Amino acid sequence: MTVRPIVIHGEPVLHRRAAEVEVFDDELRTLVADMFETMDVSNGVGLAAPQIGVGLRIFTFHFPNDDDAPDRGVLINPVLVTSKVPGSAPDPDEDSEGCLSVPGENFPLRRAEWARISGVDETGKPLQFEATDWFARVLQHEYDHLDGKLYVDRLNDRWGRKARKVLKANGWGVPGLTWMPGVDPDPFGH
């Protein structure tokens, strides 16, 4: 297993729809193992393949839950269904979200409180489960990466303006920027 660099907002692969996985082979299983290793070393609760520069519809997750769902796994070519996203303003204390591709930053975002996801694992075995609350948020966040969206793209006007200022101040929004889990300081201070 290899820890891979995480690409930062502005890398083109983060801003386009990822391709369906069509071949389930040793190369795919190695990629998934590398994603788990990278997620773990970066202290993430999820990691999408585009975040390590691979434009495929794959994400890993590790989130203990009470939803009768696996605490850890991989979803390939997932399909996501959610409840309605509440229309109220996000609570900065309760709804703040972060992303390994927007390292060290957090902004409030409302998400659906329930999600059902289906897909397959790295062997092609079908998976399906439901998630609530923060676990549902994790699944929505990672799924968005597969559609070329980052959580900062979904912020309301107030928080979106603040995020754009932070992105600009950090020099992000351009290709070629990465950080290396386990080498660079943990941007979230874990």
E runs forming strands in the chain: 6-7, 46-48, 58-62, 72-82, 96-99, 102-108, 114-120, 126-132, 178-179
Q: Report how far apart, in Å, the C-alpha atoms of 151 and of each of 31, 54, 105 are.
A: 24, 19, 11
Q: Counting beta carbons within 10 angstroms of the beta carbon of residue 43, is it exposed (0 to 12), middle (13 to 18) or buried (19 or more)?
A: middle
Residue 179 forms beta bridges with which residues?
6
Helix (H, G, I), strand (E, B) or coil at 153: helix
Residues annotated catalytic, as ranges: 142
* 107 Rama class: left (phi>0) / alpha (psi -120 to 50) / beta: beta
DSSP 93: T
DSSP H or E stretch at residue 69: none
